[in-house]
Amino acid sequence: MTDRGMKIILTGNNFVGKSSLVRQYVDNDFTYNYELHRRSWNCNKKEMVLKGCKVALQLWATVGAREFRTEEQYRDADGCIIVFSVTNRKSFEDLNLWRNEFLSLGKPQNPEQFPFVVVGTKIEVEADRAASLY
């Protein structure tokens, strides 16, 4: 029996690796051959134990065009992971855009305290870094 459910939204520009990140975490599997997702959301679930509590984690990765996203999909999220690719400067520059979209559609009760995490992907790619932490 699960003690608690958690809904986490992953958002960011297309092709930054949101679905791959979820697949790696949930299935411990990774592939460089991605599938183009035509729907607007990709949901995966993973059960885990956190501080002695069984948690059913729902990971909702946004995919496809922004116009297909609705308030209902963002509603009741417990956290948001904004993903960018270190090989794509625009995806880094758009981080605030994605935060604002989440706050607009998700309407969290305490937006100033809502948990956001920023994750940079594709660090293994042999290419010039478009985004750097330095």
Q: What is the CATH number of the domain that holds 90?
A: 3.40.50.300
For residue 122, pLDDT over 90 is answered with: no
What total of structural domains would you count in the chain? 1
Which of 29-33, 43-47, 100-104 bottoms out in mean pLDDT, i.e. has the lowest?
29-33
What is the rounded CA–CA span in Å between residue 72 and residue 48?
25
For residue 51, pLDDT over 90 is answered with: no
> 127 is written with which tokens?
């290419």
- pLDDT at position 134 is 37
For residue 89, pLDDT over 80 is answered with: yes
Q: Is residue 126 part of a domain?
A: no
Beta strands in the chain (DSSP E): 4-11, 41-50, 53-62, 79-85, 116-121
Which of 64-73, 85-94, 98-107, 109-118 bottoms out in mean pLDDT, i.e. has the lowest?
64-73
Q: Is residue 129 part of a domain?
A: no
Q: Cα 57 to the chain's mean position, in Å?
A: 13
Q: Is residue 29 part of a domain?
A: yes
pTM of the predicted structure, to 2 decimals: 0.82
| Amino acid present at 27 | D
Q: Which domain holds residue 85?
A: 4-121
Name residue 11's beta-bridge partners. Answer: 82
